[in-house]
Chains A and B, each alone.
Chain A
């Protein structure tokens, strides 16, 4: 009367074994659901992590810029609770970050990371009658390698070569190709402000991101400052942190200390990150649907078994097995199918992950040649948990129906 677990198990196992082929198909259905859920989650998270890693690699963790989030506080506002301000005009020029090296030193005194300055200037680069719009970035070749991959992305020449030539420039390889310039050529750089200078190509860079490689050019800070007409000022301090996840907190602290707008990589990519959240939501919906469909198989099998076993159910009940005991027999059968599917599905998902992860592919953008696969226990736990739960859920209904069967009708019919 305790529920007789061993009895329940032996009857359930017997039923399942007697329909081995059908059970196998059901198990395979669940396994396929679990396997594909796992591989899908692995690919989704893998590509997301890969993307974020590239993002975090390619951009500063915190960017301190010469903009301000809020208009500067006016003297009247400091003295009075309310003040009417009118006739204020925003300066046309970007003010720029003043005394960048002093500021960098004071930041690096406490910041767990490194800082590098940069100046941005929009310009047109011309060579042999062809020209293209470019984003000229002035960098400090000694500091830049610590905060970005630019130094590593230089294919011909080097970042230090900027210091050796006067007015040296490194072009994105796509940009160079567009205008037909090579290392050693002299190009003309012109800005909207009227500044024009000739610069010597001392290197080519290749980031793997087409849009960058076709528009970026690098010079020394002071070259870009001349082009932008802002001697002694920089536009941005780029910070690379030891721990990327500290970016939000550090950005807040820097902004509080300096008053300059400090943007973490997360804030910069909020849209993208929320797109990932939506993508994950879609993924979980699809995965849920796959597993739900897989559970139909379980429903089918348990239904079939209960129909086949009405006589046995009737006699078990007449012998004195409780309704709940009979129900547990069939729920357990569903659980066996779910559990079998879960285990095979885990193996399937893992093998597919290994398989897909090892295939060499040529991606049109970027230099990666393996699909990014994430291995995470929670993918397995979630897929397995949902599969098992939906199997049990699917089995519960035919089990309940079977257990509530009235033995008299069957016994009368069979006698």
Chain B
């Protein structure tokens, strides 16, 4: 049994300001390789904040976080950025595609930043990726020429561009109709099953959460004790 992909211990994020706000409070959480994890909880409970910490977008006030065997709490900005680029992928509720660039260019952006592949290889991979998400007809389109569901699938393709080990998705279907929601979920499920990529998805859609391998429930920045028992695939 190999070590989990993500090991969080006592992960805490406190906002200092006029009033101290505890966003995340002493979270212990492991995510195994190839695990599909759903993070649920009421609005404002700290789900997004936890996800930002797990994704190295935010730095914990206290606690430790190892990703792929690497302790991250003392890494510098560049190393954190490099780790995000190579190992993590994000999907948010809003697609965040660069508006002036085509779907293909948006997907290629992380590849080009990574600089591991030749132009030809990058183009080929990005095309394959978009095609596998049913977007072969839309590769040259800009975000404003696509539907919400298509945009979100492009965003997923971009998150997958550098073959990350962990996808972090924050209510990725929050803006989508039920058909698109089904599509996105199917894509993520397939990803976990076929490539052993881990997915952590924040959602308050319980039927959606039900399709995950495991669910954790966040209340007031803490993992609730009555979280459903772990049930790895």
A335 to B92, CA, bound (A): 33
Q: Is the CB of B113 within 8 A of A7?
A: yes
- Residues of A359-415 at the interface with B, using a CB-CB cut-off of 8 Å, are 407-408, 411-412, 414-415
CB <8 Å contact, A322 and B58: no
A318 contacts B55, CB within 8 Å? yes
Q: Size band of the B side of the interface?
A: 35 or more
Tell me the minimal C-beta distance from A32 to chain B in angstroms.
29
Q: Which residue from chain A places its CB closest to the CB of B53 in the assembled complex?
A: A408
* Residue B115 interfacial (CB < 8 Å): yes
In this complex, which of A6, A311, A317, A411 has the most chain B Cβ atoms within 10 angstroms of its Cβ?
Answer: A411
Binary contact readout B92-107 vs A (1 if CB under 8 angstroms, 0 otherwise): 1110111111000100
A14 within 8 A of B: yes
Given the contacts A407-B57, A415-B170, A319 and B52 also touching, CB distance less than 8 Å: no
> How long is the Cα–Cα vector from A11 to B171 in the complex, in angstroms?
28
Q: What 0/1 pattern do residues 303 to 328 of A give for CB contact below 8 A with B?
A: 00000000110111111111111000
Cβ-defined contact, A6 with B94, below 8 A? no
Q: Is the CB of B93 within 8 A of A322?
A: no
Interface: B81 (CB within 8 A): yes
A10, A320, A321, A407 — which one has the most chain B CB atoms within 10 A of its CB? A320
B113 engages A320 (CB within 8 Å)? yes
- Residue B112 CB within 8 A of the other chain: yes
With A320-B85, A323-B81, A408-B52 already in contact, the answer to whether A415 and B112 are too (CB < 8 A) is: no
* A102 close to chain B: CB less than 8 A: no
Contact B48 A415 (CB under 8 A): yes
Does B92 contact A320, Cβ atoms closer than 8 Å? Answer: no
B94 touches A414 (CB 8 A): yes
A2 x B98 contact (CB < 8 A): no
Q: Are B88 and A315 within 8 A (Cβ)?
A: no
B86 contacts partner chain A, Cβ-Cβ < 8 Å: yes
Taking A1-B82, A4-B112 as known contacts, 14 extra A-B pairs with beta carbons closer than 8 A to each other, sorted by chain A number, are: A1-B86, A7-B112, A7-B113, A314-B96, A315-B96, A318-B55, A318-B84, A320-B84, A320-B110, A320-B114, A322-B77, A323-B77, A407-B57, A411-B96
List B90-133 residues whose CB lies under 8 Å from chain A. 90, 92-94, 96-101, 105, 109-110, 112-115
Bound complex: CA of A317 vs CA of B84, how far in Å?
A: 9
A14, B81: Cβ atoms under 8 Å? no
Which of A6, A315, A321, A412 is B48 in contact with, Cβ under 8 Å?
A412
List residues of chain A with CB within 8 A of the CB of B171: 415
Identify 10 residue pairs between A and B in the complex whose beta-carbon atoms are under 8 Å apart, listed by A's number: A4-B115, A11-B98, A14-B101, A318-B96, A320-B81, A320-B82, A320-B162, A412-B48, A414-B92, A415-B94
Say yes or no: A1-B113 contact (C-beta < 8 A), given A320-B85, A320-B88, A412-B48: yes
Q: Contact partner of B86 among A4, A14, A318, A320, CB < 8 A?
A: A320
Distance, CA A411 to CA B168, complexed state (A): 13
Chain A residues with Cβ below 8 Å from B115 are 1-2, 4
**A18 in contact (CB, < 8 A):** yes
